[in-house]
Structure 1
Amino acid sequence: MSYLEDFYKAYDEDRRLLSQSGQVEYLTTMKYINECIAEHSQPKILEIGAGTGRYSVTLAKEGHSVTAVELVEHNLEKLRAKLDGTEKIKAIQGNALDLSELADNCFDITLVLGPMYHLYIREDMLRALSEAVRVTKNGGHILVAYCMNEAAVIQHAFLHGNLQKVLDNDMLTPEWHCKSEPKELFQLVRTEDIDSLNSELPVERTKLIVADGAANYISECIDAMDSFTFEKFMEYHFSICERQDLIGASNHTLDILRKL
């Protein structure tokens, strides 16, 4: 866990999500979380891999009942510091691979917005998803975020000039699929990888969303936008974020599942 702990101690995730370019992913994810919330009466919400609480704390402050599970103690401390004691939230340290302290069929909405970024073996990815499904009620929603392969290749290898380093370090398969391991921090997937995982679980997909689309490609442009232009950009983004022809090129996707 040291690579992950060191990364999150040095990285300001809140700051990223609060920038205008980071807001694209955040606002999109919240839009679809709220759509799921609207389908449940007084939903019990679980976030696995809650980070510093950008989503969990927001939802709790909106009056929802939230359980936040986070692996990295540094993140958990930052999450708890945002609470004033009036929120209906339980924040605990835990691992997405083992949620044995949580009962079966307990939550209406389960958020998995970070763990799949940092699991490098298919069996671990499937185990984390299986745990998320287990603790979710039948008919409940599981929202899972992924980092996508093509955005990483385009940006890291080509746009940022790291192609030779990537080739020298044998970080790509002949099919241009990134090879991920703990020291690289992030697991990068394609839509067929996500579909393969889902096929082994008692779930059905309701939507697969482009979470940030072009935002990371043109982050400097978006961060420089005035409020009117940014509002129009978000209108455009929301109009296309369910287009399946754009899924693979997004940095992040959001898979919305319903437990059968």
Structure 2
Amino acid sequence: MEELKYLEDYYNSYDEEGRLLSKHGKVEFLTTMNYIEKYLKPGAKILEIGAGTGRYSLALAKKGYHVNAVELIQHNIEVFKSKITADMKVCVRQRNATDLSCFEEETYDVTLLLGPMYHLYTEKDKIKALSEAIRVTKKGGILITAYCISDASIMCYGFRGGNIDTLLNKGLVDTETFKAFSSPEEIFELYRKEDIFKLMDNFRVARLHYVATDLITNFMRDTVDAMDDKTFELYLKYHYAICERSDMVGVTHHSIDIVQKI
């Protein structure tokens, strides 16, 4: 399948783990973990869908939680498995986010969908992935879904990177509204906040948080990476204070939508 080939080629060569370990990458990781931990109780059962190389699953397993994970890309699974230690209650298997038939409904207290929505391009597939994630989540349980946001990409890759004319000429950005479009060949599907909320209107859920997980960080990544530890901690404190502000969330590169199943 051509779509899978694009993803395999990308993740076989891209250092996703390294991105999240840089100071600017840690902002996204630490923010997401901060919100995950708000909803974890002792003994909570966790499912991560599209777990990549296991950055989140392994971190949660190290804290003593039982984690089941699924991932589509074999390379990522191999990296994930190489990092599992004997004391971790975690397992990973190869599955597509749009088909979780291997899991019974209402099984998990917290379900993480932190990667698949980056790579689903049709309304049907997006609804199916969200539907499956919600199906396996317990009533009253939490679903945390991550998205790539379009306007930050247009600003950084388009204007700052000098690629805006290419994006416009290829029809990847609307010339009037600047809404972004994507395809499997482009790798990442891009959203605006209103697109995400419209998707979730299809489900019986209550929104708890909409969070800009890196907000302005990627616009000043060199500055963030150069911070000493004390300044970086202060920056994180500032980031946490503003990352849900409705007047700022639109410029983030990544967001998480946190809902409760009702």
Q: Where on the TM-score scale, by shorter chain, does this alignment land: which range? A: over 0.9
Q: Distance in 2 between matches of 1:167 and 1:213?
A: 25
Report what 1:154 is aligned to.
155
1:216 counterpart = 2:183: no
1:237 aligned partner, one-letter code: H
Secondary structure (helix, strand or coil) at the match of 2:31 reads helix
2:253 to 242, 251, 254: 251
Report what 1:65 is aligned to.
66
Report what 2:22 is aligned to.
19
Q: Distance in 1 between matches of 2:21 and 2:47?
A: 22
Q: CA RMSD in A?
A: 0.8
Report what 1:231 is aligned to.
233
Report what 1:109 is aligned to.
110
Aligned-pair distance for 1:86? 2.0
1:34 aligned partner, one-letter code: E
Secondary structure (helix, strand or coil) at the match of 1:218 reads helix
Q: Distance in 1 between matches of 2:195 and 2:257?
A: 12
2:12 aligned partner, one-letter code: K
Report what 1:123 is aligned to.
124
Report what 1:30 is aligned to.
33
Alignment deviations for residues 32-84 of structure 1 (CA, whole Å, 9 cap, x no partner)? 000011xx341000000000000001111111000010000100000000012
Structure 1, unmatched stretches of 5+, are none
Alignment deviations for residues 113-167 of structure 1 (CA, whole Å, 9 cap, x no partner)? 0000000111111110000000000000000001111101111110111012112
Report what 2:205 is aligned to.
203
Alignment deviations for residues 193-235 of structure 1 (CA, whole Å, 9 cap, x no partner)? 1111111011110010110011111111111111111111111
1:2 counterpart = 2:8: no
Report what 1:242 is aligned to.
244
Q: Distance in 2 between matches of 1:168 and 1:133?
A: 38
- State, as a whole percentage, how many aligned pairs show the same letter: 46
Report what 1:183 is aligned to.
185
Alignment deviations for residues 154-188 of structure 1 (CA, whole Å, 9 cap, x no partner)? 11110111012112212112311111100110010
Aligned-pair distance for 1:90? 1.6
Report what 1:77 is aligned to.
78
Task: After the TM superposition, list the runs of 4 or more consecutive aligned residues in structure 1 that deviate by more than 6 angstroms.
Answer: none
Q: Distance in 2 between matches of 1:246 and 1:97?
A: 32
Q: Distance in 1 between matches of 2:51 and 2:217?
A: 22
Q: Distance in 2 between matches of 1:154 and 1:41?
A: 42
Q: Distance in 2 between matches of 1:191 and 1:167?
A: 21
Q: Distance in 2 between matches of 1:112 and 1:249?
A: 21
Q: Distance in 1 between matches of 2:254 and 2:42?
A: 29
1:2 aligned partner, one-letter code: K
Secondary structure (helix, strand or coil) at the match of 2:260 reads strand
Aligned-pair distance for 1:191? 1.0
TM-score (norm 2): 0.97
Count of aligned residue pairs for this structure pair: 258
TM-score (norm 1): 0.98
Report what 1:192 is aligned to.
194
Aligned-pair distance for 1:105? 0.3
Alignment deviations for residues 73-117 of structure 1 (CA, whole Å, 9 cap, x no partner)? 100000000012221112111000000000000000000000000
